A = this chain, B = another copy of it.
Amino acid sequence: MSTHREIKFVRSPAGLPTEDCFSVADVPTPEPGVGEVLVETHVLSIDPYMRRAMSGARPEYRLKHGATMIGRGAGIVVKSRHPDFKEGDAVQSEFGWRERVVLKGEGLRKLAPDLKPLSLSLGIVGQSGATAYVGLHDIAGMKSGDTVVVSAAAGAVGSAVGQIAGINNCCVIGIAGGPEKCRHVVDELGFNSCVDYMAGPIDKALAEAVGDGVDVYFDNVGGEILEAVLDQTKDGARVAICGQISHYNSDVKAGLRNVHLLLDRSIKIQGFRVGSDLERRDFALEQLLQWWRDGKLNFRETVSDGFDSAPAALINMLQGGNYGKQVVRVV
């Protein structure tokens, strides 16, 4: 009987996860039933929400001990009993951390044959890019000429936010950790400027960078940076909350101290998940694919090699060790 490896979530982390939160298991590879496909995982997506699912998120999204670790993946169909998919098709879906996975057609996305490497379908031309697109357009109501600020600017979603906002003729200011990330964001991704939050309190540098104020803030981190950007908002600003990574490894909730600005400046703040409107997500993915084909999107990836490197890749990403999308190359 053929087997493959899966990675289980076995222990809740206190703070930053450690490798012993996970264990690798050899399990029998199931046969696809009617209407199902067997997929070989080529690449796994590593994302901040995974840490949130390991504790603290809504109960229905919280991972149970012993469960296979969650996560999107891309791979190749190796056996199909589904009319819409054939052997050799490149596909993307929620795989979990599995080397091989049996999936139903529902939620399984066939990838454009020219989209290479497959990891792009998880990053800038995938869920990360779609998250950026939906957050900017649907949640924040981005308009041409807006001043847009994005945190974790060198990360998977942040790097997409800056480029999409740039395509829409916005002035884009990134916030990232360290001079090298800031250089990357400006020189390679085309942001107008970038503020290094590791260089000290960002208030002054941010105020200079944004000029007459922020129209849109795309928030990936929460905490003190959210507070600092709120201080710089214009009347009628919109804040799309996509991540709160500053909270994920800590139980301490510092509290947002300038909530009064919401009223003083008629600010809108909204948390969102890209999956809550699949039609808009798919529209975004089509647009991103077009931009990528037109050469309008730059990207860098942080690739970790080998299926069993997934826990280390997650820990690296949660410490800000990634540029662009953090992925695991399985095959």
Residues of A within 8 A of B (CB): 56-58, 222, 226, 235, 241-244, 247, 253-273, 276
Chain B min CB distance to A113 (Å)? 35
**25 A-B pairs with C-beta separation under 8 A:** A58-B264, A58-B265, A222-B259, A222-B263, A243-B263, A253-B257, A253-B259, A253-B260, A255-B255, A255-B256, A255-B259, A261-B271, A262-B269, A263-B271, A263-B272, A264-B271, A265-B271, A266-B271, A266-B276, A267-B270, A267-B271, A268-B269, A268-B271, A269-B269, A269-B270
A242–B269 touching, CB < 8 Å = no
Residue from the set A56, A242, A264, A267 with the largest chain B CB neighbour count within 10 Å: A264
Q: Which residue of B lies closest to A236 (CB)?
A: B276
A266–B258 touching, CB < 8 Å = no
Distance, CA A57 to CA B266, complexed state (A): 12
Q: Which residue of B lies closest to A223 (CB)?
A: B259
B222–A260 touching, CB < 8 Å = yes
Chain B min CB distance to A292 (Å)? 28
Distance, CA A236 to CA B144, complexed state (A): 28
A244–B263 touching, CB < 8 Å = yes
Q: Which residue of B lies closest to A58 (CB)?
A: B264
In the complex where A268-B270, A270-B269 touch, is A242 in contact with B263 (Cβ < 8 A)? yes
In the complex where A222-B259, A253-B258, A260-B247 touch, is A272 in contact with B276 (Cβ < 8 A)? no
Q: Which residue of B lies closest to A57 (CB)?
A: B264
B266–A273 touching, CB < 8 Å = yes
User: Which residues from chain B contact A56 at a C-beta distance below 8 Å?
Assistant: 260
User: Which residues from chain B contact A261 at a C-beta distance below 8 Å?
Assistant: 271
A244–B266 touching, CB < 8 Å = no
A241–B262 touching, CB < 8 Å = yes
Partner of A241, one of B57, B247, B263: B263
A268–B266 touching, CB < 8 Å = no
Chain B min CB distance to A275 (Å)? 10
Distance, CA A262 to CA B222, complexed state (A): 11
B262–A270 touching, CB < 8 Å = yes
Distance, CA A145 to CA B331, complexed state (A): 52
Q: Which residue of B lies closest to A255 (CB)?
A: B255
User: Which residues from chain B contact A253 at a C-beta distance below 8 Å?
Assistant: 257-260
Distance, CA A259 to CA B226, complexed state (A): 10
User: Which residues from chain B contact A242 at a C-beta distance below 8 Å?
Assistant: 263
Chain B min CB distance to A53 (Å)? 11
B260–A244 touching, CB < 8 Å = yes
Distance, CA A262 to CA B266, complexed state (A): 17
Q: Which residue of B lies closest to A242 (CB)?
A: B263
User: Which residues from chain B contact A272 at a C-beta distance below 8 Å?
Assistant: 263, 266
Chain B min CB distance to A107 (Å)? 20
Q: Which residue of B lies closest to A268 (CB)?
A: B270
User: Which residues from chain B contact A254 at a C-beta distance below 8 Å?
Assistant: 255, 257
Nearest 10 pairs of A and B residues by beta carbon: A255-B255, A262-B271, A263-B271, A268-B270, A255-B257, A253-B257, A256-B256, A256-B259, A269-B269, A241-B263
